[in-house]
Structure 1
Amino acid sequence: MDDRQYLERYGPWALIAGASEGTGASFARALAEKGFKLVLVSRREAPLDALAAELKAAYGTECVTASIDLSRDDATERMLGTAHGREIGLLILNAGADPNGAMFLDGAIGSWNALALRNVMTTMHALHAFAAPMQARGRGGLILVGSGACYGGLPGIGVYAASKAFGLVLCESLWAELQPHGVDVLSYVLGRTDTPAHRELLNARGMAIPSDLANADAVARLGLERLAHGPVCNWGEADDEAKVSATSAAQRRDRIRQIAAAAAAYARGELMSAAVPADLADKFAITEQLYRYCRSVDRLDVPLGKSIFHDDATVDYGPSGFRGRGHDAIEWICAAHRQLQSHSHQVSNVIITVDGMEAGSEAYVTATLRAVREE
């Protein structure tokens, strides 16, 4: 859609939380260029005022700024007060970086409370408060800027990763709930982006600045472009690709549509089979077996691994691998992995076909193996 159509769909005002620098400021510049009026929110007042002055000089943008700490209980109430009397058609929640850089037990619980309040409670409250008028008007957009950390727990950023997983799942749910009312929702999952906050965290950890950081302006442009598609956009991945995530954005979209159809049919008292393709449960079951296979190898859990095979199942890993019974294969694989220092397996790009009583699957398995080198 062109700038006029975009403004009609998501305007006239956009509120950006976390707008003072980095990706948030890039969102503001991109929207100002499209003709939006802006409510700019951040904890630090001086950078907001400087950005507002820049946008007014460059585009004649009407801006309202507010210094609000999003980790406080009253953050959403203060944002509503700042936006009072203005039709907010687009909400972008961009704040939420992890300033701690510490293992969970090495950080003070107060620091984790502040992070959870900002990324979970304020996120939930703000989405609820600003989405309601959009639903009533029958148009609008919500963008929650997330992180690839949402797809799994990582040491040193446990609370941050968990909070981003919360945002991802909430956005996917809201996408299904609000799409019939004309409100678009996007969980925008970013990778490493060149922002002052990210550079500050790397410096605090004594890490070099990578040369492949994403450009904040490019990130903002793509996020605005993908809003109409939702519910997920993974930066650096095509819609049908799965690199950081176990499933692509397109696969997640299809899954949510199918589950939403099933839930709607159940609510109407209909049989689920009337709303869901007959092979959906089979595909889910096969996908779970693939995950259980990888988990059994990584945990060296032979009983779990054997549970995915029928007693008469056979495997064929080629001339240089194992050929024989599935149960024997798991024992062989786990024995080989016990000799390694560490190992990790991830399944992605799973494609399953079901034809009556026959099924086939294709998947990528990314294996990271670490062995001790003998001198």
Structure 2
Amino acid sequence: MTRESFHERYGPVALVTGASSGIGLAFAEELAERGFDLVLTARRTDRLDALADRLASSLGTKTMVIGADLADPDAPARLIAGTEGTDIGLVVSNAGFNIKGLFESKEPSAMAKMLTVNCHAPMQLAHGFLPRLKARGQGGLIFTASVEGLIGCPYSTAYSASKALVVSLGEGLWGECLGTGVDVLTLCPGATESEATAGLTHIQGIQPARDVARLTLEHITEGPTYVPNERYRGMFEHLRGLPRREALTGMAESMKNLA
């Protein structure tokens, strides 16, 4: 698909949540370079304002900045209402965070917040935006999940469970949207350059965020799921091919010392 045909199919405006850093920031930059105007949302609006100014200066991108904390259960509804009348053809539900370590050592309130951001928000955003995308007759919906959503991951148990919901949500909606003109893709990245991975020298195969965003957009029609990191794609294909007890035992042993 050429950049012109991509813009025609998914433009003129793209919405990206969690756009202040990491993969979300990379999606915003990549889409701006493809000629999209943007709706960007995150908690840190100062970063979004600076990004909007930079993209306007370098590319002429028009950006709507909406401050939102998706840990607030009502935030998705406000985001949907706040973009009424905006011709959004691509929704990138990217915001999320993780909790690592021994499951029972984590605060219940932190896990509840993670479930709201990682699970509640993408489900509600999809529910609000899918009717608009279907009414247009074309468009796209991208969910950022994780390779850890493909199998239960010891010492990342709550996060893994939250991303498993995103994988199932994306797969189900991919099936429901067949023939509607709306493409649904669930992105399952491995380790990616971000604030969270900065300085973590024990992690191998960290992928630049811009590569993740670019490859995802290039494969948007090849759902339901996509793993952009070849190293992690091979690793998790191997793990999912093993008897589940064997796979989990090996993962638990390898992750125990890092927890």
Fold equivalence (TM over 0.5) = yes
Q: Distance in 1 between matches of 2:239 and 2:139?
A: 27
Provide the C-alpha distance between the structure 1 equivalents of 2:92 and 2:37, rounded to a whole number of angstroms.
Answer: 13
Task: Give the distance between the partners of 1:137 and 1:83, measured in 2 at CA.
Answer: 15
Contact 2:100 2:159 in 1 (8 A): no
Structure-2 change in CA distance of 1:168 and 1:343 (3 Å): closer
Corresponding residue of 1:245: 237
Gaps of 5+ in 2: 255-259
Q: CA deviation at 1:85?
A: 1.6
The residue identity in structure 2 corresponding to 1:212 is G
CA contact (8 A) 1:18 1:94 kept: yes
Partner SS, residue 89 of structure 1: strand
Contact 2:18–2:95 under 8 Å retained in 1 = yes
**Residue 208 to residue 247, structure 1, CA distance change in 2 (3 Å):** closer
Q: Deviations over 1:87-124 (max 9, x none)?
A: 111000111121x4342221221111110011111111
Aligned mates of 2:65, 2:43 — CA distance in 1: 10
Deviation at 1:212, TM superposition (A): 3.2
> Are 2:116 and 1:117 equivalent residues in the alignment?
yes
1:230 aligned partner: 223
Output the amino acid matched with 1:191.
G
Quote how far apart the aligned CAs of 1:295 are: 5.3
TM-score by length of 2: 0.89
1:295-306 mapped onto 2 (5 Å cutoff): 298=246
Aligned to 1:32: 32
Normalising by structure 1, report the TM-score: 0.62
Provide the rounded CA distance (Å) in 1 between the counterparts of 2:150 and 2:78: 31
TM-superposed deviation, 1:242: 4.6
1:306-356 Cα offsets, whole Å, 9 max, x none, are xxxxxxxxxxxxxxxxxxxxxxxxxxxxxxxxxxxx9649xxxxxxxxxxx
3-state SS in 2 of match to 1:244: helix
Tell me the equivalent position of 2:257: none
* Aligned counterpart, 2:105: 106
Q: Which residue of 1 aligns with 2:141?
A: 142
Q: Is the contact between residue 97 and residue 197 of structure 1 (CA under 8 Å) also seen in structure 2? A: no
Contact 2:73–2:116 (CA under 8 A) maintained in structure 1: yes
CA contact (8 A) 1:17 1:95 kept: yes
Alpha-carbon distance in structure 1 between the residues aligned to 2:159 and 2:121: 14
Which whole-Å deviations, capped at 9, do the CAs of 1:197-241 have from their partners, x for residues lacking one? 332xxx6xxx53646310111111001011112111112239xx7
Structure 2 CA distance, aligned partners of 1:175 and 1:232? 9
User: Once superposed, what is the RMSD of the aligned Cα atoms?
Assistant: 2.4
1:53 aligns with 2:45: no
1:80 Cα deviation from its structure 2 partner: 1.3
Q: 1:35 to 1:295 in 2, by over 3 A?
A: closer
Runs of 5+ unmatched residues, structure 1? 249-289, 300-341, 346-367, 369-375
The within-5 A match list for 1:1-375 is: 1-98=1-98, 100-199=99-198, 207-208=200-201, 210=203, 212-237=205-230, 242-245=234-237, 294=243, 298=246, 344=250
How far, CA to CA, are the matches of 2:72 and 2:189 in structure 1? 25
Greater share of residues in strand: 1
Higher relative contact order (CA 8 A, sep 6+): 2
Tell me how far apart the structure 1 counterparts of residues 186 and 50 of structure 2 sit (CA, whole Å): 28
The answer for the alignment partner of 1:319 in structure 2 is none
Task: Answer with 1 or 2: which has the greater Rg.
Answer: 1
CA contact (8 A) 1:22 1:195 kept: yes
State the AA in 1 paired with 2:130. A
Deviation at 1:59, TM superposition (A): 0.4
Contact 1:148 1:245 in 2 (8 A): no
